[in-house]
Structure 1
Amino acid sequence: MSGKKILCCGILRHELEHLLGEQNTDITYIDAALHVDLDKLAQSVTENLRGIAGINIPLIIGNQCHPEIEQIAAEHGGRVIQAKSCIEMLLGEKMAELDAEAKTFYLTSGWLENWRKIFMEGLGWDAVDARQNFGYYDRILLLDTGIVPIDDMNLLEFYDYAQVPVETIPVDLDNLRKLLEQLLNG
């Protein structure tokens, strides 16, 4: 996996850097909050792929984060990881099991770090909007990979904003590692 150029959503920065460690990779991260504006997301992916200027550039962005992400990637020399979202990249098949238990909204440490940019700035949600939108969910699960310490104050502020119980569950990086190897070696 050495000498690769990669384009990745900033949500997975910590996990990707942990998995790739000291390997010779050139990773470009796009702003995690772009998910709320499909035009800006497409523009950023396109510009970054052009800037990388290569063939078969691995793109670590869920294939459902933008309805045309695979087409955009293919047109500009990229290949998209085979997962719907960063959550599915981490959970794999376990996601269906967790979804069957309750209506669940998922967070990663990257989402927790960026929640204000995503929901307040990007979507423009005030506290009432947040409660209306998050009110659909029975719970919020924070996927803790153990890589980034959870900022308890930030988590409490997010709970206060969303008003939905937040549970933290440990997750390993096995599924993301497998998907990453498939993408980089494919």
Structure 2
Amino acid sequence: MSTLPINNTSGDTNKPVVVGIDGSSEAQAALHEAVVLAQALGRRLEAVTVWQYSTSMYDAYHPEPGASPKIRALETAHAAASKEFGAHWPAWFSIRAEVGNPGETLVEASGNASHLVVGSRGRGGLTSAFLGSVSLHCASHARCPVVVVVGSAARLPLDLPAQKKENPT
């Protein structure tokens, strides 16, 4: 995979593209699109994974040795990054784990982002009013432009060759 140099002269170059990661195929597609966007804009990319404390009594009495919700969330994000980049991640990419509500946490992260990229499982219409939707919450409340990747989007190659226009003669 090639990388573009990070040198953007328009606006605040300190604001990264932020992408939400949760281990779903939709989040994996969102990560891919966020990589494309960050490279096109010459921005850093920050993957945010959100975890919550367990409310299960089973977990309180029989915790998994050496594992915590934060560690599991970071492992999920690392797996997604490895799937996208392979063994060697670019220097302009980072991961962080935050505790909280996913929608609210990503909206908070959008306050210091150039763009927010999230995946959507495609539960539209009335269903989203009853089930709730992280992508809908982000699109409604984010403090930066939001890209919603619907479903498991078809992956485009990162190195798009220049297309030749054929002469119709």
TM tier relative to shorter chain: 0.3 to 0.5
Higher RCO, 1 vs 2 (CA within 8 Å, ≥6 residues apart): 2
Give the TM-score, by structure 2 length: 0.33
Give the TM-score, by structure 1 length: 0.31
Where is the helix percentage greater, Structure 1 or Structure 2? 1
Q: Which has the larger radius of gyration?
A: 2
